[in-house]
Amino acid sequence: MTEGTQAQNTPAPIYGSAVTKVEPFGVDHIPDNERHGKPSSQFFVWFAAGLNFPIILLGFSAAWFGMSFSAAVTAIVIGAALGSLLMAVMSRMGVRLGVPQQIQARGPLGFFGNFLPVAYINVFAGVGWAAVTVILGGKAFAELTHLPYWLCALALTAVELVVSIYGYNMINYLQRVLTYVLTPLFLLITVVAIARGGSLFHANPHADGYIGSTGGWVTFSGWFLSFLVAWAPFASDYSRYLPDTPEVVTRTAWYTGLGNFVTICWLGIVGVVVGGSATSSDSITALHELAGPFAVPALLAVGLSALAQNFLNVYGGAISVQTLRIPVTRSQAVTGICLLAYAISLWGESGTEAKFKVFLNLTAYFIAPFAAVLLLDFYLGGRSDASRIAELYDRRRVLDWGFVAWAGGVAASVPFWQSSFYTGPFSKAYPGAGDLSMFVAAGAGVALYLLTYRFKPLWVRGSSAETPDPSADKAAAVTS
């Protein structure tokens, strides 16, 4: 067959690279004729998402822990490096398989075994992260415009809703635009923070949050790792349209890792500087005070950055709802998530910092073993084989051992939880060890997967001779 004949037999894309067309695909596999884009797009997606005030908020806590400036910077760099590596590897999986990360999890966990972790990790996390970001963005715009907080938060939510309904291509386009808009604004925040309130402070064992130099370092570094671990269930969602070639797979990983690493390190360290010189316990107010005559662009940066993060939170959450086989369109799922996030943001306007850290911990405890199982299944369990994609849509594969590995990892971490929500017995007995929960969860998940991945599936329904239906989720993929 000649190249001309092949081109004639290849159906024309119905979505392609159109920015102003509503994305017609949901959780189904992206066909080859719809594959488009460049690996560099992943840099803009994640760089823009990282240009966000919650990262500064994490760095803000270094002084509270009584850490020295150098120890805080080291913790941020190592946490960001580990998290960026995880994101880089998981974005490769999207290019190779052409399906969302949540669908990939059906491989090791089973079609229905995947429901519980997706319901908690992705839907709950998507709504929760969207609410946290609306709170911070809404407070910044309210401080800037003197309009009511509820109105500013509502305006942000409305923009996120519209863009997330349009979907993948519009999100990619706007993340690139926001990168160019937000970068100079956050550079300004950096310069002002150093010039007006830069503080290379020393360790302070009398600080309110001091739990020992080692424990504080482990917990603080773990927060920055957790921030990227929380993105892991969505990494493939924004790479699954890219052409599946070895060069694209490799470059996608590099661009994803770099986009995450640069912003996490940069803004985390800015947060350390801001926290060390702040006189207010509220981070938005502290930023306003520190920025002084430059408060307008600083608050504008925080407000706009809420969009860069929440486009991903809302879109990924909607895909997760469809993964659960809930009979709604993607547009309806987006609308539901936005309404829930807005309602939660009204409730959580006060005490944002404390609620944010509790939420960050709880998501990481559950996501760490989930990500570990997915990675092992892809590289060790043979899931990288594109010929097995149909298995991900086979409802006969009810439950597999990966669910046991995930659940066992979560259960093993409970004694190590260190949170105002719940503190486990190990953490109560040894608070100076820091928060080890995420590492224990991932390690236990790895061990259980290695012990069980060669076993036959726990529950397979029906005849093995039946042909899996690759379009099993087609109805859930409808967007209008």
How far, CA to CA in Å, does 305 sit from each of 225, 309, 322?
A: 20, 7, 27
User: CA-CA-CA-CA torsion for 112, 404, 361, 364, nearest 10 degrees?
Assistant: -70
* Residue 468 pLDDT class (50, 70, 90 cuts): low
Write down the pLDDT at residue 88.
98
Does residue 384 sit within a domain?
A: no
Sequence-distant (6+) residues with CB within 8 A of 44 are 172, 175, 176, 179, 259
Question: How many beta carbons lie within 10 A of that of residue 262, not counting itself?
Answer: 17
State yes or no: pLDDT of 354 exceeds 70. Answer: no
Question: What is the average per-residue pLDDT within 233-246?
Answer: 96
Query: What is the domain-level CATH number for residue 190?
Result: 1.10.4160.10
- Residue-wise pLDDT tens digits, 249-292: 999 999 999 999 999 999 999 888 877 665 555 667 767 777 77
Q: What was the pLDDT predicted at 2?
A: 42
pTM of the model: 0.92
Can you give the pLDDT at residue 6?
Answer: 45
Q: What is the mean pLDDT of residues 309-325?
A: 93
Report the percentage of the chain scoring pLDDT > 90. 68
| Predicted pLDDT of residue 283 | 63
Residue 400 lies in a domain: no
- Structural domain contains residue 90: yes
Query: Does residue 477 register a pLDDT over 50?
Result: no
Weakest-pLDDT range from 1-15, 133-147, 252-266: 1-15
> How sure is the predictor about 355, in pLDDT bands with cuts at 50, 70 and 90?
low
Residue at 12 is within a domain: no
Average pLDDT, the chain: 89
Domain count of the fold of the chain? 1
Residue-wise pLDDT for 181-236, tens only, equals 999 999 998 888 778 766 777 888 888 888 888 999 999 999 999 999 999 999 99
Burial of 476 (0-12, 13-18, 19+ CB in 10 A): buried
Rounded-to-integer distance, Cα 108 and Cα 130, Å? 28
pLDDT bin (cut points 50, 70, 90) of residue 151 is: very high
At 9 the pLDDT is 64
Q: Is residue 206 part of a domain?
A: yes
Going by the DSSP 8-state scheme, the letter that residue 457 receives in this structure is: P
Domain housing 315: 41-368
- Residue 276's pLDDT is 63
What is the pLDDT at residue 20? 96
% of the chain at pLDDT higher than 70: 90
Q: In the numeric block, which tokens belong to residue 164?
A: 């997330």
407 within a domain of the structure (yes/no): no
Q: pLDDT of 323-353, one tens digit each?
A: 998 888 899 999 999 999 999 999 877 666 6
Decide if 305 contacts 174 (C-beta within 8 A). Answer: no
Distance CA(259)–CA(235), nearest Å, equals 12
Task: Name the pLDDT band for 1 (thresholds 50, 70, 90).
Answer: very low
Contacts of 162 (CB under 8 A, 6+ apart): none
pLDDT of 278 reads 59
Q: Given this model, what pLDDT does residue 209 score?
A: 86
Q: Which helix (H) or strand (E) holds 48?
A: helix 41-50
State pLDDT tens for residues 421-447. 899 999 999 999 999 999 999 999 999
In a domain, 140, yes or no: yes
Query: Does 33 fall in a domain?
Result: no
